[in-house]
Structure 1
Amino acid sequence: MTHNTTADTTSEPPEANAKMTTREKQWIVYDVGNSAFVLLSTAVVPIYANSLLKAAGETNIVSTWGYAQTIASLVIAVLMPLLGSIADVQGMKIRFFTGFFLTGVVMCCAMALPLGWLAFLIVCVLATIGLNGSLTFYDSMLVDTTTNERMDRVSSHGYAWGYIGSTVPFIVCIALIFGGPGLFGWTTVACTRASFVITAAWWAAFTIPLLASYRQVHYRATADRAGEAIRHTFSELASTFRAIRRNKPLWMFMIAFFFYIDAVNTVISMSTSYGTQLGIDSTQLVIALLVTQFVAFPSAIVYGRLADRFGAKTMITAAVIAYMCIVFFASFFLRSATEFWILAILVGMFQGGIQALSRSYYGKIIPKRHANEYYGFYDIFGKTASIIGTFLVATTTSVTGNASLGVLSIAILLVVALVFLFLQKDPTRA
């Protein structure tokens, strides 16, 4: 029999509008580290993978890249609920986080090896699994880091600083890719591979504060009962599933999240490959995505403040409507670099806000002592949605030969999400 436990704390929680605590800042900086790999994966990795595919006689990067992302998402969706339940035992969360983080960093370095297109995609999939696995445990650390009243703000700052911080190594990498051949006499391929190592080093450096300071406040069993708790993992999972099913506001939000985060993740993971398919110059794609990061920094912070005033759910709903407009714009108007720049700015305005508030809103409406287990189910919905989104775009593009129709299919998912958001009763307003 496991026991729900919360560690005793002697310090008073900070006021809702007080400055960030040291603990909150140390949690936030991991977003600065991992976001460098996210940005590189969005901008540089698909272009590099495209060059490998072309060298091997392959041409359709949209479908190939979509299937690779689908595999990575599927692995995470299967693993996270089980590992998340185990991680709710005292001291286990940081261990799983460290394992996935190290997998991501090592595989990011391995991407710099001279690999063929298939081997490169396999290593890239493993790096993505390491990243997304670490993020599941990282997200659940939010409930140990701050209070309900400050969650929207702290989560928004995490995404905001992640966006702006990731631009530093990215600019270095881009300068190396474009200027390295002239300065150092390296090939463009060698400079691109070096950018993977630079990104891995940045990711590792900004993870150290969290590894050194994190303390698990909420857990379902103490360390001395770890064996007993692990043996009861499957019964805990069944119990959690039943609890979710009985909690109507929670499961309605999770279904809405399933559909709208599908759209968000698909836009993020497929935007560069879609632009490449349309024939937009790779330099324009990279610079436009860099602009997205700078736009997303203040936008995410503003979104957090607006959530304090209007509520997280209201702002999430507004972002879903905005994403619907973005999808229609990408489908019907995106044909040149100028339109891609407009798309990048629009995405930057809403991407960080919807991700940050989804994370914090979910953290408010779940039991804190089972946070990792619940975030495991959260990941099922998030990553399975990614599977459907990327698969839908890839398959529609392959069948019709028209990438625009693949992008347009995302709008259906956003409509379904809006229906559930409108029907869901917000428990934080009670």
Structure 2
Amino acid sequence: MDKITFKYTKAEKSWIMQDWANSAYSIMVTTAVFPLFFKAVAEGSGVSGADSTAYLGYANAISTFLVSISAPVLGTIADYKGLRNPLFTFGTLLGIFSTLGFAFVPSDKWLPLLFLYALSAIGIGVANIFYDGSLMDVTTLQRMDRVSSAGFGFGYIGSSIPFIIFIFFQLTQILPLSQMALIKWGFVLTSIWWFGFTLPYWKNVQQIHYIERQPQVVRSSFKRLWQTFRHIREYKNAFIFLLAYFFYIDGVGTIFKMATAVGSDIGLSSNDLIIVMLITQIVAFPFSILYGVLSKHYGNKRLIYTGILTYLLICVYALSLDSLTTFIILALLVGTAQGGIQSLSRSMFGQLIPSERSNEFFGFYNIFGKFAAVVGPLLMGIITQYTKNSLDGVFALIVLFIIGAIILHFVEEPVKPAAEN
């Protein structure tokens, strides 16, 4: 236990705690509860099941597109001294208050609900640009894999706690609340959890690597961004990695966001889906930590390939989904790979870039990751509406993993310094 918990510095622990905080949004809103809530509201207003799934995919695509086009500029601005934390705070509070707003939307108004969801997705997307970029400020190159993996790992556990509280009240029905009212209180709890556990980050994570502020910050940021593009050959390895990341993380994100909607389409109940998502979170915790430990011995690139192979199996297996048992098997497979492939992608990229320009480069990291997430949901939405079968939409994602794996082959893995204790 000491090796896992007590050897982290205060800054590292606070950084990890932020993943603990915002991951509550990921399971309560992105994955498990909100998609079912939205589909119930939409279908109650006469929208078909396939169309409500497609509209949710379109909302994900639009919000991620807006984040992606702004990410490089925001990241470049954040590299200036004293600007990263205020931008992080803006994105975080936008996400928190939009999520809180779900509780106040009338239960027969699906369009305002979808709009607030898009705003919340923009908020957490913007905040995560600066959260990822701050990894360079809280740890060293030697410890980066371990800290990044711990962030994802403990994020799965942290997100599970409000989720378990919600499930307890839903299954026991000990509170005199309707199902809709209970779900809305779940969104309130998510907002409070997110805010409360972000406090250590606000207190202890400081911007150590930065560029001194210049006059006309925005204009200077565009100039720096243009210089990066002009000298892109100097960072060839990092940008080849980003191109590979663009494709394989697209598939990862789409499966994550659309899983419960797919489960609903094959006839699973909301309680079944919520429990399955909890199982996924529990499985993802040790496997995220394991990926970080194994990277020391086998390297990031080989383990990212392991994650890609797992997702290829997931895409093929999705065609056989027809029961709770098959969906649990699919969810277990997702849990073994999801956190590991994301955490090692983040730390590997951090090892390929200059630390004083980490926010700018993580802006590119986010534009590739977020813009990729436009393609996946759109692809899945179009295929689902065309075939009237969301399982075909999941299978279509296989091409993204194959292309990502091919491009990753050309990335030269960075040589890490000698390990620290």
The DSSP-based 3-state class of the residue aligned with 2:353 is: coil
Structure 1 gap ranges (5+): 1-14
TM-score, normalising length: structure 1: 0.92
Is 1:151 aligned with 2:139? no
Measured after TM superposition, the shift of residue 278 of structure 1 is 1.1
Map Cα deviations across residues 225-278 of structure 1 (whole Å, 9 max, x no partner): 343443311110111223334432212111100000001000100111011111
Is 1:123 aligned with 2:116? yes
TM-score, normalising length: structure 2: 0.94
- After superposition, residues 130-209 of structure 1 pair within 5 angstroms as 130-180=123-173, 183-209=174-200
**Structure 1 stretch 420-429 or stretch 372-381: which is displaced more?**
420-429
- After superposition, residues 391-402 of structure 1 pair within 5 angstroms as 391-402=378-389
Residues in 2 aligned to 1:99 and 1:376: alpha-carbon distance in whole angstroms: 16
Structure 2 equivalent of residue 40 of structure 1 = 28
Structure 1 equivalent of residue 411 of structure 2 = 424
The DSSP-based 3-state class of the residue aligned with 2:215 is: helix
Among 228, 242, 254, the alignment partner of 1:240 is: 228
Residues in 2 aligned to 1:104 and 1:177: alpha-carbon distance in whole angstroms: 25
Q: Provide the alpha-carbon RMSD of the alignment.
A: 1.7
Residues in 2 aligned to 1:165 and 1:337: alpha-carbon distance in whole angstroms: 25
**Structure 1 stretch 260-269 or stretch 277-286: which is displaced more?**
277-286
The one-letter code of the counterpart of 1:52 is V
Map Cα deviations across residues 105-154 of structure 1 (whole Å, 9 max, x no partner): 11111010133100000001101111111111000000000000000000
Residues in 1 aligned to 2:219 and 2:401: alpha-carbon distance in whole angstroms: 40
> Contact 2:75–2:360 (CA<8 Å) still a contact in 1?
yes
Residues in 2 aligned to 1:429 and 1:146: alpha-carbon distance in whole angstroms: 14
Measured after TM superposition, the shift of residue 192 of structure 1 is 0.7
- After superposition, residues 214-253 of structure 1 pair within 5 angstroms as 214-221=205-212, 225-253=213-241
Measured after TM superposition, the shift of residue 18 of structure 1 is 8.8
Following TM superposition, the consecutive aligned residue runs of length 4 or more in structure 1 with deviations greater than 4 angstroms are 15-18
Note closer, same or farther for the CA distance 1:228–1:112 as it changes in structure 2 (3 Å cut): same
Is 1:91 aligned with 2:82? yes
Structure 1 equivalent of residue 44 of structure 2 = 55
> Contact 2:141–2:416 (CA<8 Å) still a contact in 1?
no
The one-letter code of the counterpart of 1:54 is E
Map Cα deviations across residues 292-331 of structure 1 (whole Å, 9 max, x no partner): 1110111100100001111111111111111111111112
> Contact 2:295–2:303 (CA<8 Å) still a contact in 1?
yes
Residues in 1 aligned to 2:232 and 2:365: alpha-carbon distance in whole angstroms: 11
Map Cα deviations across residues 335-378 of structure 1 (whole Å, 9 max, x no partner): 11101111111111110000100111111101111111111111
The one-letter code of the counterpart of 2:325 is T
Is 1:289 aligned with 2:277? yes
The DSSP-based 3-state class of the residue aligned with 1:219 is: coil
> Contact 2:142–2:416 (CA<8 Å) still a contact in 1?
no
The one-letter code of the counterpart of 2:36 is I
Among 19, 27, 33, the alignment partner of 2:15 is: 27
Residues in 2 aligned to 1:17 and 1:128: alpha-carbon distance in whole angstroms: 30
The DSSP-based 3-state class of the residue aligned with 1:247 is: helix
The DSSP-based 3-state class of the residue aligned with 1:414 is: helix
Residues in 1 aligned to 2:269 and 2:249: alpha-carbon distance in whole angstroms: 28
Structure 2 equivalent of residue 409 of structure 1 = 396
